[in-house]
């Protein structure tokens, strides 16, 4: 994998983290619990915007093969995150009140939701060649 693709993957992960933190901040505010510990909304939004701009600026320099590698590698990472969901989420249930849930549990729950949505979009957007290679890597028969 080229350093260019590796940087793209890092930026995608940073963008995903800021997206989760931004949603966590919103959920905490709505439930009357303030900001995520150690983060303020302005910093989260600024970092999100910066990572988004960096990715947009890089997009034109990615070849079709680079973009294919990005899709496959990101999907493999997200698939592995899905495999660890039971350990990360423990006995979480959607019926648990937001006011009662620990911030760390909310963070994992939101992360899981965003990861699931992103993985679904990546899998649906793959070419047949990408899908075949992806399935070979993750060792499943169909997506």
User: pLDDT, tens digit, for every residue of 69-122?
Assistant: 999 999 999 999 988 877 877 766 666 676 677 888 888 888 999 999 999 999
From the list 50, 126, 40, the residue with the least C-alpha distance to 134 is 126
pLDDT-derived band at 52 (thresholds 50, 70, 90) equals: very high
Average pLDDT over residues 2-18: 93
pLDDT-derived band at 13 (thresholds 50, 70, 90) equals: very high
128 φψ region: left (φ > 0), alpha (ψ -120 to 50), beta (else): alpha
From the list 49, 51, 45, 41, the residue with the least C-alpha distance to 8 is 51
Kindly report the pTM of this predicted structure.
Answer: 0.85
110-124 pLDDT, tens digit each: 899 999 999 999 999
Residue 28 is predicted with a pLDDT of 87
């Amino acid at each position: 994998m080229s350093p260019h693709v590796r940087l793209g993957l890092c930026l995608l992960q940073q963008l995903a983290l800021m997206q989760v933190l931004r949603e966590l901040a919103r959920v905490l505010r709505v439930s009357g619990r303030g900001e995520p510990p150690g983060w303020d909304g302005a910093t989260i939004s600024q970092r999100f915007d910066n990572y988004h701009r960096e990715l947009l600026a890089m997009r034109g320099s990615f070849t079709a093969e680079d973009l294919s590698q990005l899709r496959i590698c990101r999907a493999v990472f997200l698939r592995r995150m899905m495999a660890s969901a039971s350990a990360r989420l423990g006995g979480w249930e959607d019926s648990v009140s937001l006011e009662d849930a620990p911030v760390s549990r909310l963070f994992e729950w939101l992360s899981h939701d965003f990861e699931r949505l992103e993985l679904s979009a990546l899998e649906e957007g793959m070419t047949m060649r990408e899908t075949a290679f992806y399935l070979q890597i993750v060792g499943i028969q169909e997506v």
